[in-house]
Structure 1
Amino acid sequence: MRTPLPFFVYGTLRPGAYNHDRLLLGRTAAEEEARLPGARLHDGPGYPYAVPGEGTVAGTLVTAAPDAYGELLGVLDRMEGDAGYERTAVETVRLRDGARVRAWTYVASPETALGPLIVGGDWFRHVPDGPRTP
């Protein structure tokens, strides 16, 4: 079996945001700040959408606890799929030390209507009070 990939999260699943505590708390082995080059971030209805493009998205690389990976993958796929996202593997998540990591992330489905571009690619800076409350 292939090694499970970590998840790059950039919205409500980041530490400090409401879906992190609801879905990830206690199910992760590691969480560290990261960036996804080659992507843009758009505002959505209460959460952001990443799409491929020129830019960089700020987020967190989340490594699932080994015994929680399968369950977590299913939970995240359902939640993100219902919100108009598709899971995709990305090769270029960058950690603070410059290391590149392959990871899963969720990007907007082609039929998803996107809101305005979030300049700077960091949802927490775009809506500083919003991410922490449902």
Structure 2
Amino acid sequence: MNECERLWVYGSLLSGFFNHVKVLEGRVVSLHPARVKGRLFHQLHKGYPALLSGSDWVYGELLQIRDFSSVLPLVDELEGYAAGGADNEYDRRMSQVFYQQDGAWLAVGAYVYWYARRDLGTKENPALYLPGGDWKGYMRG
């Protein structure tokens, strides 16, 4: 996998969810269950997750994307990200992602969208902490 072609997803871009179909379907070359260190929340009014820095394991999917340079702007728009943007909802950062191959955990770099606003858990944006780090499992309940 080429580092610049990797994206780690943990919310509505996961396989089987609406934004995966809308933005990524037909463009995923490979998909691996994977995890990052962080803290995961479900935003109750928005209906999608927020990832913050932390020490929990958060579970998602590591994707290798075909035609990555044309897909990335679509994902940026979906995530409310603009390079250098002062009011980004999410910031896209190269992050360490862990996935299993042949029984061994491997660490690779991939783009991850981290929640950037300071409103998480406020009256305007109530949030539920997901200590298990699995938004897909939470949504499928």
How big is the alpha-carbon RMSD for the aligned residues of Structure 1 and Structure 2? 1.8
- 2:47 maps to 46
Q: Which runs of 5+ in 1 are unaligned?
A: 130-134
1:5 deviates by 3.9
Q: What SS does the aligned partner of 2:129 have?
A: coil
Q: Share of identical aligned residues, percent?
A: 28
**Does structure 1 residue 124 correspond to structure 2 residue 125?**
no
Larger Rg: 2
Cα distance in 1 for partners of 2:5, 2:58 equals 19
Q: When you count strand as a share of all residues, which structure comes out higher?
A: 2
Matched with 1:100 is: 107
Summarize the Cα distance change of 1:41–1:102 in structure 2 as closer, same or farther, 3 Å threshold.
same
1:87 corresponds to: 92
Q: Residue 41 of structure 2 contacts residue 50 of structure 2 at CA under 8 Å; is this kept in 1? A: yes
Residues 112, 106 of structure 1: alpha-carbon distance in 2 compared, 3 angstrom cutoff? farther
Instruction: Name the CA distance, whole Å, in 1 between partners of 2:23 and 2:110.
Output: 18
Question: How far, CA to CA, are the matches of 2:11 and 2:109 in structure 1?
Answer: 19
Moved over 3 A (4+): none
What TM-score do the two structures reach when normalised by structure 2? 0.81
How far apart are the structure 2 equivalents of 1:55 and 1:3? 24
| Alpha-carbon separation, structure 1, partners of 2:55 and 2:106 | 20
Are 1:70 and 2:74 matched, yes or no?
no
- TM (normalized to structure 1)? 0.85
| Count of aligned pairs between the two proteins | 124
CA displacement, residues 21-48 of structure 1 (integer Å, 9 cap, x when unaligned): 1110011211111111x20101112110
C-alpha separation between the residues in 1 aligned to 2:118 and 2:39? Answer: 17
Q: Which runs of 5+ in 2 are unaligned?
A: 82-87, 122-126
